[in-house]
């Protein structure tokens, strides 16, 4: 199945952005007036299955700061992520970095992009309690951004279905979340956009880890293998680098990239550590990060005076990704609770880089 949003650029251009935005504001007002947050909690996720495409999953969420929002995730992998992040109220910005999503709801004006403020003033309804609607697109590897014309048209079609589904499930005897991770209540949509009869659909097997094809150059493997064995473990961790331009005027229709900062640390005495760091970007596909990472790590190790006897990580994905290296070198791989060298060095490093996490 196609893992894309089925954006129809040609059809979208048949109307100006203003027309799509007016429809979005109208549908958001209807959803807001219905107030499905009264009977839909974050576990009560329902789906929209467009024929020939991966499904969309809709999650009504009240943020930790009290804002009513709706997250719409694309593809089966987004379902367990939505469920986990919003049910447990986890602050996990990288969730939006790794998943193709749309989000709408209401925020205070000081949390909007300037373009969103201007669009609302032109096309939107009056604010309610100082909070106004917003509509954002989350492309994998990029900052959340106001929807463009094709995205606005697509999202309006989705909101029309969301409104109907929210009304349909209001009087259900059991909450949708009672079957979480077993079945999803799904609305089928054919290729012409005609709605079918919703039903409970079993969840397929959803891989926990991101799939990535890793190609390790033979000469790089040899350089690492030829290194003498060292006596200090290497710590590896990563930090998500968000990008929040706030209210500044958008100078481009394209969102800026976000990424992961990877940090590798090896102690060299009591008060000194070798610290190496680099940034990787997903660029629409998060597997771009994980497929490149082992090569970057091996290049760092190859530049060291000795090969570490052990690599320590805290992240399960790093553990799974690096495990094949233990079959190529005398190397121990450990998942640790803490990485003391990185914990002591990282704050100063981020400060020097001007990064405020």
Q: Does residue 2 have a pLDDT over 60?
A: no
Distance CA 234, CA 275 (A): 10
- Residues 155 and 138: their CA atoms lie apart, in Å, by 12
Same domain, 178 and 62: yes
Using pLDDT thresholds of 50, 70 and 90, give the confidence band for residue 135.
very high
Reported as a single tens digit per residue, the pLDDT across 8-20 is 666 766 788 889 9
pLDDT at 247: 40
Q: Are residues 270 and 319 in the same domain?
A: yes
Q: Is residue 160 part of a domain?
A: yes
User: What are the b/e assignments for 219-246, b being 16+ CB within 10 Å?
Assistant: eeeebbeebeebebbbbbbbbbbbeeee
- pLDDT tens-digit series, residues 87-125: 776 656 667 778 899 999 999 888 888 888 889 989 988
SS3 assignment, position 173:
coil
Q: Are residues 130 and 25 in the same domain?
A: yes
For the ranges 85-94, 122-131, 278-287, the one whose mean pLDDT is highest: 278-287
170 shares its domain with 225: no
How far apart CA 230 and CA 306 sit, in angstroms, is: 5
- 233 with 347, same domain: the answer is yes
User: Among candidates 23, 15, 12, which has minimal Cα distance to 160?
Assistant: 23
Domain region containing 25: 9-202
Residues 49, 159 share a domain: yes
Do 299 and 230 belong together in one domain? yes
24, 170: one domain: yes
Confidence of residue 334 (pLDDT cuts 50, 70, 90): very high
Quote the percentage of the chain above a pLDDT of 70. Answer: 87
At 245, the pLDDT band (50, 70, 90 cuts) reads very low
Q: For position 267, what pLDDT does the model report?
A: 85
What predicted TM-score, i.e. pTM, was given to this entire model?
Answer: 0.83
Residue 283: pLDDT band (50, 70, 90) is confident
Q: Is residue 185 part of a domain?
A: yes
Considering the domain architecture, whether residues 300 and 190 belong to the same structural domain is answered as no
């Amino acid at each position: 199945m196609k893992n894309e949003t089925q954006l129809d650029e040609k059809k979208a251009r048949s109307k100006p952005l203003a027309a799509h935005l007016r429809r979005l504001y109208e549908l958001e007002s209807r959803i807001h007036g219905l107030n499905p947050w009264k009977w839909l909690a974050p576990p009560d996720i329902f789906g929209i299955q467009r024929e020939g495409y991966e499904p969309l999953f809709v999650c009504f969420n009240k943020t930790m700061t009290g804002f009513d929002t709706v997250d719409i995730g694309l593809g089966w992998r987004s379902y367990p992520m939505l469920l986990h992040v919003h049910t447990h109220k986890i602050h996990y910005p990288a969730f939006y970095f790794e998943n193709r999503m749309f989000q709408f709801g209401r925020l205070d004006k000081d949390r909007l992009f300037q373009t969103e403020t201007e669009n609302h003033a032109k096309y939107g309804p009056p604010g309610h309690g100082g909070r106004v609607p917003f509509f954002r697109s989350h492309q994998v590897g990029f900052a959340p951004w106001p929807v463009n014309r094709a995205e606005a048209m697509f999202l309006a079609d989705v909101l029309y279905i969301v409104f109907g589904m929210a009304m349909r499930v209001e009087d259900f005897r059991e909450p949708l979340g009672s079957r979480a991770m077993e079945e999803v209540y799904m609305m089928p949509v054919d290729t012409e956009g005609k709605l079918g009869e919703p039903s409970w659909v079993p969840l397929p097997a959803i891989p926990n880890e991101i799939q990535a094809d890793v190609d390790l150059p033979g000469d790089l493997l040899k350089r690492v293998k030829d290194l003498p064995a060292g006596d200090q473990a290497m710590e590896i961790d990563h930090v998500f680098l968000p990008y929040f331009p706030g209210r500044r005027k958008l100078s481009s229709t394209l969102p800026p990239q976000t990424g992961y900062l990877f940090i590798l640390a090896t102690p060299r005495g009591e008060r000194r550590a070798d610290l190496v760091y680099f940034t990787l970007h997903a660029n629409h596909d998060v597997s771009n990060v994980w497929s490149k990472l082992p090569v970057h790590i091996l290049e760092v190790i190859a530049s060291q005076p000795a090969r570490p006897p052990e690599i320590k990580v805290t992240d399960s994905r790093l553990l799974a990704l690096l495990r094949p290296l233990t079959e190529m070198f005398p190397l121990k791989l450990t998942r640790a609770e803490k990485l003391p060298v990185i914990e002591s060095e990282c704050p100063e490093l981020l400060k020097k880089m001007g990064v405020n996490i």
